Structure formats: C-alpha cells, structure tokens
Amino acid sequence: MAEQGIPNIQKCIAVLWPSFLVAIVATGLFFSAFDPDDLYPFGNETGISRLGAYSIGFLAFWLVSAVSGVGTLYFAVTNCMRQKR
Amino acid sequence: MATPAAARKTDEQVEQSLYARAEKIYPREVHGLYARLRVLGVLGLLGIYYIMPWLQWDGHQALLFDLPARKFHIFFITLWPQDFIYLAALLIIAGLTLFFVTALWGRIWCGYACPQTVWTEAFLWIERKIEGSRLQQQKLDAQPMNVRKFRIKATKQFLWLALAAWTGFTFVGYFTPVIELGQRLLAFELGPWETFWVVFYGFATYGNAGFMREQVCKYMCPYARFQSAMFDKDTLIVSYIPTRGEPRGARKRSVDPKEKGLGDCIDCTLCVQVCPTGIDIRNGLQYECIACSACIDACDDVMDKMGYDRGLIKYTTEDEMHGGKTHVIRARIIVYATILLGIMAIFAWSLFSRTPLGLDVIRDRNQLYRETNEGLIENVYILKVLNMDDVAHTFELKVSGIEGARLHMDMPEIRVDSGAVLELPVSLRVEEGALEARSTGIEFELAAKGDPALAVTEEARFLGPM
C-alpha cells in the first residue's frame, strides 16, 4: 500500500513543517493588525502578557494549519492508494 | 528527531534516517581557499548573530523587534505595527536578492550563508574537536558502548546543548530587551513564554545542526526545490569536468596517464568523502549539491600532489563547460536587477520620507449635526493622533475649508507621548451662512510645535441643514 511506503516521521514533518512556516506569516499579519491588549472586551483579567498572547496565537495558527495539512495528506494518500488499486 | 532510539541506531553505522535509509554522513575535513572562505562566512555570520543584540544605539538596543512593546528598533529607525508594509517590503527585497544572486552565482547562499550550513559547520567543528577525524568518528561509532565512548559522546552532547541553548537565548534577545532578559535568566525569573521560546529555538538548532543536517536541505528546504528555476546556462555551478577526468582510474604518480589511456581523475573518492550531502559530484549536477565547494578544495589538493593542473572540479557554467563563454550580462540578470533596484529605491524613498505621525478623523455617528444655543451649526469628531516619533510632542490643530469655523476641544493642549495614541474629541462650530451645501469638505491639519516638518492633514466632511 502506498500509505505504508511513507514513514510516519516523514508524514509528521510534511504536516508540521509547512504549517509552521504558514503560522509565522499568519501570526505576523494578525498581530500587526490587532494589539492583543485590545482584544479583551472587558479588560484583561486573564493575566496573559502580550508575549503570551502572541505565543498562544502562533501555536493556535500552527494547530489550525497543521489540521489542514493532515487533511491534505489524508486525501493525497488515499487518492493515491485508490489510483494504484 | 533527536530520540535516543535514533542515537542508538547511529551506532549500527546504517541508520533509518528521517527520509531515506541512508548511511550516516561523516564529512571529511577539508582545507583550501573555499574552506577558508566558508569559515570566514560562518564566523562572520555567527559573530553578527550572537553580538548584534548586545549593541546599543541612542539609548536603546540597536536591533530589537520589541514584541512586548509593539515597536521595532532598527538602528535609527523605529517601526510601529502600522509600518508592517515596510517589513513586508524588506522580505520581498530579500527574496528578490536571493533570486538575483542565484541566477548569477548559483547556490552560493546554500554553501556559505544559509543558517542551516552555518550552524551545521559549527556543530561539525565541535564534533571534530571532540571525536576527531572522519575515520576516528567512524571507528568510535562502530565500537560497542564503553566508558571512553560514553565520555566522548557525553562531552559532545553537552557542548552541542550549550551552544544550542545560547543560540535560543540570543534568538529571544532579538524580540525582548536582551540585557533585562539576561538579568532575569541569572535570577531564574524568566517568564514562561520566554523560557518556552529559548527552549524551542535551542531545540530546533540542536536538531537541525546536530542531527538533520543535509536532510533539511534535501527534504525540507523550499529554496532547494525551486532554485533551479533561476538557473540558466550561465549560472555558476560546481562541476566536475568529465572530458578531462574520464576515464578515471588509479595510477602511480610516475605513470603518464596518456600512456595508460586515463583521464586526470585518479578515483581517490576524496570529493565524495568531503561532501556534506554525501553525493558524488562526478555524476553531474544534482539537486542535493549545496555548492559548498568542499570537493573543489579536496580535488585541487590531489591535483597538486599529482602534479596535474587544478580545476578538475571547479566553479564553472554550462556554457563554459561546452566550450563557450559565460555571459554575465543577460536578459534574466537585467530583469532581476531592474525589479530589485526599483523596489529598493521605492522602499528607501518611502521609508525616509515617511512622517512619523498619524491622524485619523472619525465623525460622531450619533447625530449628523447640532444647533447650539448661539445658533451655530456644530459637528463632532473624534481625532486619533498617533505619535510614531521617538520623543513626545505637543501639537497644534487647525481646520480649513469653511470661513470662520471655530474649533473646540476639552483638552488644554494636544500632547502625545512617543508611540502613544491619543483620542481627541473635538467639535467644530460654524455660522449657518458660511455653509453653501449640505456637506462641505474640510481639512484638519495637525503640526508639531517647534517641528513644522512633522505635520499631517486629513480630510473630513462637515454636515449642515441645507
């Protein structure tokens, strides 16, 4: 099967690495438009610093784009398997 | 990545590496012109990287992308989030420069300046200092674990981790003032996110330069994939000259190769042993080749020893290899250079002519206009004043467009600190007779006292009953 031909570590990198790059760009764009301190409508009671908000934002962007990457990988691999059958 | 399992498998000579079942590459140390150039590049770039955050300029860190304070200091320039466009433009310029350099000199970036190469060289240098030469490293890895091997491996890992940790710390020092960061580190008071990023970047350095090495170039680097699009027949490449080298074969120094029907290649395989990506340059141009020219140095050395001419492996171009001449000035180069210079000129002009002052006029949406007790027509606006200069300023506000318009505001003066935004409600009153239409264009003009160059005007509308 085609799926078995790709080592898991390679799949991980194929998903995590491009989404990492995308997350950097997305974080830069997002936080240059929005100051995290302005994003709390009722005052910042969470005690999260700006650096913390940037970091959480970055990790969230990374997660979102990684999920999309998993989808792409899944469809690419399963389509490939179907064609080989 | 750097799992213990991977480290164990390294001992078995053949390791299941990340992408391919490949032998661990032990690049042999080289000496020569290009090796010296690379060391120069590595030392220069690492020096800049590690020293830069500690430089001061005009009372602040010379290069500081101060994320907590939302402003970037680049020597004498201070950029605010509104100036994001400049950073984007800077990235585009960097990208185009890479295109231009690639078209002209091939993968010179990969071989001498890429962080992956630079840190890999640093980690390789530590490895050689601790474990010895290529042969000694291979022998050590073939041994079963013993006290001596453990001691050597532990020392290397310790030094690698120390360099990686320092690298991570320096990285965070570009984004938060490094001196305070250092003080907090020494007092064990680093914030959780600062700690996270030091460890994250340190780990990335350790993994990339210590273990992944050439596999990053081969399998993960986007530039390695598309750089061939910038190549043409006149791009500088590292190449073996098969017409001169073949047929290859071993021979004694005293033997005349022509008599034996041999080319100049003595098949010593030194070019393969020094290659950091583990390829044989004699098989032709390969995408794995990062043009580090280690093979050139190695081969030139052998040619000297054999008494042959240097340059069996050399920097050349496709045109030159086929007996032609290299055309430095060509359409591709002119196009890249024109675009690059154009964008750089626009960038420099807009950066140096930019006014570090922002004014936004927002009309009060609750009512179009109001009639005051004195029978005047009043419009209310909220002005947002953004002072992007490095010092506080007091501003003077004027309005033009309607005869006899009077400006009222609650504040005695408009004083805005450096980097601050002031919300300033103002009301504008005019006599009804001065209005000629329902909506009249007006202009707010804001100028710093004592610095008439620091001024902006912003258009707005004045609404009346007509």
Contacts with B64 from chain A: Cβ below 8 Å: none
B7 pLDDT tier (thresholds 50, 70, 90): very low
Is B444's pLDDT higher than 90? yes
Q: What is the structure's pLDDT at A4?
A: 55
First-to-last C-alpha distance (Å) of chain A: 9
What is the arithmetic mean of pLDDT over A57-70? 96
Residue B263: alpha-carbon gap to chain centroid: 44
Lookup result for tokens 């953004």: B386
Name all domains of chain B by residue range, CATH numbers in brackets.
Answer: 4-79+114-230 (no CATH), 237-321 (no CATH), 357-463 (2.60.40.10)
Residue B51 confidence (pLDDT) above 90: yes
Q: Answer yes or no: are the C-beta atoms of B161 and B56 closer than 8 Å.
A: no
Distance from CA of B275 to the nearest CA of A (A): 24
Q: Give the model's pLDDT for residue A70.
A: 95
Q: What is the mean pLDDT of residues B385-398?
A: 88
Name which of B104-108, B338-342, B431-435 the model is least confident about. B431-435
Phi, psi values for residue B17, rounded to 5°: -80, 180
Q: Mean of the pLDDT values across residues B25-36?
A: 89
Residues 6+ apart with CB under 8 A from A47: none
Using an 8 Å CB-CB cutoff, list chain A residues near B220.
Answer: 13, 17
CB neighbours of B395 closer than 8 A, spacing ≥ 6? B385, B414, B415, B416, B446, B447, B448, B449
Supply the pLDDT for residue B187.
Answer: 94
Which pLDDT score is estimated for B1?
Answer: 37
Which of residues B465 and B34 earns the better pLDDT score?
B34
Which of B346, B421, B430, B352 is CA-nearest to residue A37? B421
Range from B158-172, B246-260, B363-377, B444-458 that averages highest in pLDDT = B158-172
Contacts of A51 in chain B (CB under 8 A): 67-68, 175-176, 191, 193-194
Q: Is the pLDDT of residue A57 over 60?
A: yes
Query: How many CB contacts within 8 angstroms connect chain A with chain B?
Result: 41
B19 touches A: beta carbon within 8 Å: yes
At B120 the pLDDT is 94
CA distance A40 to A46: 9
Under an 8 A CB cutoff, do B68 and A50 touch? yes
Q: Which position has the higher pLDDT, B367 or B188?
A: B188
User: Does B5 score more than 60 pLDDT?
Assistant: no
Could you say which residues from 188 to 217 on chain B have a Cβ atom under 8 Å away from some Cβ of chain A? 191-194, 196-197
The dihedral through the CA atoms of A60, A63, A65, A71 has a sign that is: negative
Q: H or E element: which one contains B363?
A: strand B357-363
pLDDT in tens, B56-108: 988 889 999 998 888 899 888 888 887 888 888 999 999 999 999 999 999 99
